[in-house]
A = this chain, B = another copy of it.
Amino acid sequence: MRAAIIGYGYWGKNITRNLVNILGLKNIVIYDTSDKALLNARADQIGIETSSDVGAAFRRKDIDIIAVVTPVSTHYELAMKALKAGKHVFVEKPMTVSVRQAEELIREARKQDRFIMVDHTFLFTGAVQKIKELVDSGELGEIIYFDSYRVNLGLFQHDVNVIYDLAPHDLSILNHLVQKKPLCVRAEGFDCISSGMESVAYLTLKFDSLIAHFNMSWLSPVKIRHVMIAGTKRMLVWNDLNPEEPVKVYDKGIQTTADEEIHQLLISYRSGDIYSPKVVNKEALHSELEYFVECISINIPPAVNTAEEGLEVVRILEEANLSLSKGAGSPVFAGGAGQRYAG
């Protein structure tokens, strides 16, 4: 099997390193329109094949997989060309700029009988896999509350706002865990330093019996990666910056009982042990690419990070941006409910 990587920036380098390890150096070709990027590629992987003629990637018969690691605005066009050329596609997150684009890619992939995998790398981390295991086993009960805090200082992006930058991680994780569609999407965003892009944003999703909130910021002096998940039975905190104990399960809960005599709700609390399961510590991107290569080799479509999951993330991002634009009319302050099921 042979793979082409289009785009040799920060993340393209990581994808290259792992594909070289999985498929072997001589089965990888790097495409980039920047000569400097190609020079870097050849310095990092001595002997690797590179080319600035990106179109050649689609024409070559010996290439099976194309990894699209370019700015999001170009994902659709490159992925579409790859599919039409009969290649399998590994595409960076978010999958596309719009829902329509993502849907067209999915249609084309079906037509061509090829696979798309969207690189929501977090789903292959030991922490998220452990959380998924805990949710699926029923140990937490039904999930009713998801609260994510993902803030740091910068890096300000020129082409996307803080929601497009940070939300795909948590949205893909939430989708993976609960596999439900939100009833309502609401976002607020603020361009705190007049950079032309929202640098602070708050996103709220309402599901049937679940509330999810995402606090995203490029303006925090401290880096925080903190997710709380409350289930009806147990609660969980995932602190991605705590290498010793990333996931903690709290045997805590709230019980409500209706007291018929006094016509009142009685609320009681339960507080027990805390348990921090061992989390496998391996490079998630390696596992993810290895999985995609295996899917292709046995001709079974990926079950994780599918194109449909990628689409669902794009759908929420699109609705979040719509919600932003329906705000109070000021470029600084925006907010309102997205379209989805608004009556």
Contacts and interface: CB of A to CB of B under 8 A. Distances in A.
A215 B211 CA distance: 13
A213 interface: yes
Overall SS of chain A's interface: strand
B269 A333 contact: no
A144 B190 CA distance: 10
A195 B265 contact: yes
A122 interface: no
Interface in A192-227: 192-196, 200, 202, 204, 206, 211, 213, 215, 217, 219-222
A298 interface: no
A193 to B, nearest CB: 6
A186 interface: yes
A291 interface: no
A138 B264 CA distance: 46
Give the interface residue-count category, chain A: 35 or more
A322 interface: no
Given A220-B228, A220-B230, A221-B235, 18 more contacts: A144-B193, A183-B333, A192-B230, A195-B256, A200-B211, A200-B213, A202-B202, A202-B204, A204-B335, A206-B332, A211-B333, A221-B237, A222-B244, A273-B276, A274-B275, A275-B275, A275-B276, A328-B343
